[in-house]
Structure 1
């Protein structure tokens, strides 16, 4: 099945959104390198890093980087594969769980979304999913 440009663009944005709030390394066209938390991205791909460190060891509370200077952005943190969590959730919520591979997210009952960042949703199902997700993370040694 061929992927359309629109689908690929949606995947790109979803992947970038999954990295917001996580540690990244940004390499610039002039050779500078910054490591920090990806704090914000605008629609032109200008970015803001929080708690950034340059390759020379200088520390910055915030670094604003224009898109035209970015060569690449590397995610430093190890990703949590939520496919396994989806299998566990399916045992408790049969027929209600959908795993979205392209964004590494789990949707439960159309109202609860689970990503590496956490659980989004309200109500009794969301509360139960939050407890299940906390147990899953603890079993993986992630807290």
Structure 2
């Protein structure tokens, strides 16, 4: 089982089951489809809280975010395919809009031209409460 920590702002959309994905940088071990995930805020602190009951990972795909000259997300590519609805993608990722996601991205990761990582999707358990 793989655990992921989220900033507090993402707990409400995860709990409401409107956020069912996360973008993560490459690391030694990510979840694999079929595995259960643990989703927390404040992981490795005394304020650690599980957001929902362990959901099942449904997909792990390579993701590329391309930024424009103003460091806003201009394109999203999943598994080698560009997506048409980038604003919808941002909303599914727990943001109000693509502009909101772009601002968060620059604040969290600094200005960059390109980000390569993975997109992890999950389906909640019945009941969904932690």
TM-score normalized by the length of structure 2 = 0.24
Higher helix share: 1
TM-score normalized by the length of structure 1 = 0.22
Which structure is richer in relative contact order (CA contacts within 8 A, separation 6 or more)? 2
> For the pair shown, which has the larger CA radius of gyration, 1 or 2?
1
